[in-house]
Amino acid sequence: MRTGPLATRLAALLVGTGLAGPGAAAGDAPIPAERFALARSEMVAQQLRARGIADARVLQAMGRVPRHEFVPPLLRGFAYADRPLPIGHDQTISQPYIVAFMTEALRPAPTDRVLEIGTGSGYQAAVLAELVAQVLTIEIVAPLGERARDDLARLGYRNVQVRVGDGYEGWPEHAPFDAIIVTCSPEHVPQPLVEQLREGGRMIIPVGSQALGQELYLLEKRGGKVERRSVLPVRFVPMTGKALDAAPPR
């Protein structure tokens, strides 16, 4: 989930007061890997399993992916906290529960090809990469997309392909997709994404505006038609680019 300026101001306050996580200040010793592993285990138990995330494969993936590698060094001490964290450019890495909830809702299978709109830090793509055959992810903010590509490659996620560009029209060259996940909120579901979802495919997407409210929807394509149900109230930043000018489908 991306919460924009509020999370950025929070991070600035934490840094300014010296609370940006142990080992964050210049010259401090780095945080031991064992401490991150313990924090990750506690995150899975207390934030995910305790709140109803039940898919064993999703829990295992969340327990494997090094979330601290996807946040700025100054905030690594908070990487496994129950909150989003800023990653620059008024964007954030989503709260762990939201990542797990959206991933579980997609019912990822080992043979799936998944499209993600809104790469951000690359963390959600990494979680999906643990669960499916291929992840294709699009980020409109070039510096974020490039950094995510580098981080995912550095961490060995060979089944993730990152593209910098506008995600409203999806990635038709690789369609159809078994699942699509969107991490920014358009005011309507983009028709190109619906068209690129295979029969039986699933899409998880926030829809609405920050002013009027947003809902997270799960869509499933059956018999050429899309069934849609609301699953959670959320708050994401708006989808930008072509989404701002596109008319809703009739």
What separation in angstroms does the CA of 112 have from each of 60, 96, 138, 164?
18, 22, 17, 22
Structure tokens at 158: 């060979």
Q: Does the active-site annotation cover 185?
A: no
Distance (Å, whole) CA 139 – CA 162: 8
- C-alpha span between 188 and 111 (Å, rounded): 29
Kindly list the distances between the CA atom of residue 160 and the CA atoms of 28, 65, 138, 143, in Å, as whole numbers in the listed order: 33, 14, 11, 17
- Considering 94, 121, 209, 230, which one is annotated as catalytic? 94
Would you call 64 helix, strand, or coil by DSSP? helix
Q: Round to whole Å and give the CA distance between 21 and 17.
A: 11
Active site amino acids: 94
